Amino acid sequence: MRMNEGVEWAAHVCVLLHWLEEEQAEPVPVPVARLAEVYDLPAPYLVKQVQALTRAGITESVPGKRGGVRLARPADRITLMDVVAAIEGPDDAFACTEIRRRGLSEGRPAREFAQPCGIAHAMRGAELAWRRELAATSILDLAEATPRRIAADVRRHFARA
């Protein structure tokens, strides 16, 4: 399965925002251009990913001179599946087109195709397992799995501004 690289970018943004908010009483919004510079990403493209996160209720946009973006809910309540769905959309990765009804099988009675074929069944099972795994992984899990020195480096970078 291949995903848009925006999924990776969006997940990293969520982790970074968590690190910046982790030690603050009130989350401070961060301009997307500043987020982009941390990872040396093109800001206009990252803006599109953050907009998708905002539409999905993962981040929220704060307007104004000191505006930017921040997490809309705690990192332990945002899953990797939430991020993937925000960027990739909710559609299944595999779409059965019922190719088995074509060619030699064209014209066969519909009752012969009442059950999904083995391919569709296997693909659906794999997708459900994949979605369950992503849904079981939170942004907090990802942040905690990253060496603390990286989070500290990020905080120092933003403190200099």
For the chain, domains (ranges, CATH) are 5-159 (1.10.10.10)
Alpha carbons 118 and 79: distance in angstroms, whole number: 30
Within 10 angstroms of residue 3's Cβ, the number of other Cβ atoms is 11
CB 88 within 8 A of CB 7: yes
Alpha carbons 108 and 106: distance in angstroms, whole number: 6
Task: Give pLDDT tens digits for 43-71.
Answer: 999 999 999 999 999 999 999 888 999 99
Question: Angle of helix 5-22 relative to helix 32-39, nearest 10 degrees?
Answer: 110
Cα angle vertex 108, ends 104, 110, to 5°?
135
pLDDT tens string for the chain (161 positions)? 678 899 999 999 999 999 999 877 777 899 999 999 988 999 999 999 999 999 999 999 999 888 999 999 999 999 999 999 999 998 888 888 888 888 888 889 888 888 888 889 999 999 999 999 999 999 999 999 998 898 888 888 888 76
CB 28 within 8 A of CB 70: yes
What are the backbone dihedrals phi and psi of residue 151, each rounded to the nearest 5 degrees, phi first?
-60, -40
Q: What is the pLDDT of residue 161?
A: 62
Pick from 89, 85, 55: nearest CA to 72: 55
User: What's at 87, amino acid-wise?
Assistant: I
Q: What is the pLDDT of residue 144?
A: 95
Joined tokens for residue 155: 């905080």
